[in-house]
Structure 1
Amino acid sequence: MSRQLSFCPQQEYELIEYPGRVVNTDRMLSTLGGIVNISKVLGDEKKRLELRFHPDNPYNKPTFGDCTDKSGVLLSVTVRRHKRDKSRPPQHFVRVLGHCSRSFSFESLCDFQYLPLWHMPKSDDSCAASELMYALDQVQPRDVTDLDYFKRPQAQLLCLPELFARVDIVHGGHYRIDGTGDGQHEVLGVSAKSTYDNHDVVSFNMQDTFPTQPDAQILKRLKVKYVSDEQFARVKKLFDDIPIWTRIALLYESGVTNEKLKCIIPSLAFYFSNGPWRTLYVRYGYDPRKDFKSRHYQTFDFRLRFGSGVSEFVYSRKSAKQKRSSTAASEEMKSELVQNIDYPYFDEHKLPRSRQCMLRYCDVRLPKIQEMLEKIPTPLTGAVCNERTGWLPPSFDAQVRQIVCATISDLLRNHYRKEHLTAEVEAVPQTEGEAEAEEEEYYIEDEETQEEDMDLDETPANENLVDKNIEQLLNNITS
């Protein structure tokens, strides 16, 4: 047996793996939408190739072919056999016609194919079973000039769904089989496995004990993540000084990156998912229910109701991080009025860092609020905190919220008044000659006129209007 291999000029082809035996090429192309539709799909890398088993039937969903990267070579093999001497081995001539770099394969699910069929009784025997008739011409007109379609009476109703399946991609389901239980005391819960980020998530209550030490697996993960001793010591010192922290305060005070802090926190503290200290990290072994000083670290959830006075300054936390990189002058001016998005405290002379701030009461650096915390009477020996309000009175959070809202209102009121006066001064430009002419006319007037002008300057006529506009802007500050 002899073989001969020959090469031809490199020609690139497109491979379509048609899911069927092709007998008629024209009919095969019509199921793919024709040459024009195939050319459009081949020219676009994102389009899928449609295959309709009934090209003229609009009541079926096509099967889609996806484009995949696949290398291939198109070969032409010719076999020549000796007619007289059958014992001679055949000769093979192989030619390389071209290559392909991608392929369209139909590996997705195929939906049900609906046909417009009507049950029609047989004409010869009415008692016999009815037969199906393809009634596409009865359901839709042949073309735009088929006016007889509107005159034909509709014998039967035809309601076919547009599609049956919502997706055509197979998703494998992985089911967890737990044979430890007997099935008698099954409780619905979260099926996701806990990771080191949320390993010690504790629900606050008055009966259960809180964790006193981390899990052994957490300490192993701490070594895998390559956390240095210096970084771990910084965060540990913060928990030794203060037993309860917010995540943003730990980032600010420790200077450790967020990725490293995610590994360090589970080895030092657990997380409250609800209760008076919700969303806070508490040091292992510390029970805030038994310490009256823990009132300073309770959660203060402050949210801004966005009216026209605040929305132009304070954004959501996600939007604020995106706008932080902006170097526009307006953003620089606003940054002087609003706290930095990574600043964990609330100061008296700046707006909150975001629309919703999860703070501790000690993070609200207003003297009046800190005095209120100190004046709360010490409970009797053996007293326990409340499951909802902790060590604070029931209406304490509402009073603190009113004080913070009043502080924000005063800050915005002063800002808008200053901005309004600056705009009035810039709106009346004067040249040096005009200013000198006005000074000369002013000195010519008598003393009574000068006194009247001085009174008018001291009390501008539009001051009341400015105050009304500012009050209207501050109506919807917060709840």
Structure 2
Amino acid sequence: MVIFPSFILRGNELYFVTLGFVKNVDKMLDSIGGEQGLSKTYADSSKRLELRYRPKDPYCHPVCGNRFSSTNLLIRVCRRRRKGSNEEGHMSIEVLGLIETTYKFQGMADFQYLATQNEPGGSQVSLYNKVVLRKPEKKEFFDQPVPLFLPPPIFSRLDNPVDYFYRPDVIHREGNITSLLSRENLIGPNRARRPHNAIFVGFDDKSVPSEPLEAAKLNWNKNSIHHSDVKAEQEVRKLFERRPVWSRNAVKANVDIHPEKLKLLLPYLAYYMVTGPWRSMWVRFGYDPRKNPDAKIYQVLDFRIRCGMKHGFGVNDMPVKAKRSAYHYSLPTTVNKAVPQPASLKEITQDGTSSPGFKASSSKYMLKESAYVFREGMLPPYRQMFYQLCDLEVDKIKSIIHKNDGQEEQCDERDGWCMPRTADELRDIISSMITQVVRAKRPALSTPKLKPVRAGRKVEESDEEEDDEDEEDYKPSEGSENEMETEMLDYM
């Protein structure tokens, strides 16, 4: 059976149509998850439609279909003629509806794995009645001897043939200096550095740059060809004039600019701090926060909410969800690949202009204010946040930050211009405030204790460690060593 499912919109009703060889409609629906599974897949545009040749077999590996937006018409053609007559029949054509979504099975079917046992004579015996629990069974069912059956944990990650050009890893090449110096058996990522030409400054560096690299100038001037790019450059310049130190998410929350263009613009206007109290921050050229006590308010606070059963929260109890979770993991073959999509007929009127119902967003790439600001009664969008002290708009926190105003003597790599252990005290206050908000939202929960994760604690002590930051979406995890290394590679 080969099917090409499509969806048509007729009035206010949605119809499911298949193009292919279908002998039994009920069996066809079962092979794609039934109406319930089909509706669930259709509701999530990132999912691929799974077709299983053996729907009742839990070990059946599916064939996946990609989702496409389409602008096709579904037409029914009928030809009627009398039996036994040689005359031409009457033809009728009826437009049933508009096909806006289509699932196409373009990949190859993977190997199928059957739960069988090879007998001495060469025949195969099914093991499904022994390994599949279909109903509540008694103890005898679990005590029966069963041959060893180990299905593969994962099948192919790709369903289309690709040319993969294997090459040796230069880090592990014999005679490589890095390989000789390293005594550990490490996997060396051989990621190509991207030509964004950012300047990285550490806390121990003697001076700071006063202007960008020539390559950064050429790179931005070459790519800022649209009037919106010029406008974004002016807005970002004004931001750095008003405030010399910004996080990337704070810039993205104040300027509407494509993330890829922002990667080129920031190295043109500022340098990047990789260590110290201003780590993962972008600093205006010529401004050295280590020599100016007023830069205390621009220091970064790495705050993380720890939650788990030992802290009083279950997996689904905490209102602030993790940005990635193993509970929602999808196999690579079940995620729809990004493909160019045709325009929808609803978005285009007869004269070619946008229809009144289609409005372009004026802030398409801007983040919400909560991406970098914290106020009383507010929950952070993620469990790991990197706040600048000036964006913690709480009176109690401000009083602690400014406790030593006028008495700053030396800038410390851990505490900056603040008093020792200030960051730990601020984490305790924010944790307490978040606990109160969580209790108000979930009164039935037991009293949780949200412990702050301090900079000196080991990674393995944390219940949940955030992953590297994604450039396209807001992933506030740009402060840890791995995440800073990822961003450094993006800008080098």
The structure, 1 or 2, with the larger RCO (C-alpha pairs under 8 Å, 6+ apart) is 2
Pairwise TM-score range, normalised by the shorter structure: 0.3 to 0.5
Give TM-score, length-normalised by structure 1.
Answer: 0.45
Q: Which has the larger radius of gyration?
A: 1
Give TM-score, length-normalised by structure 2.
Answer: 0.44
Task: Write 1 or 2 for the structure with the bigger share of helix.
Answer: 1
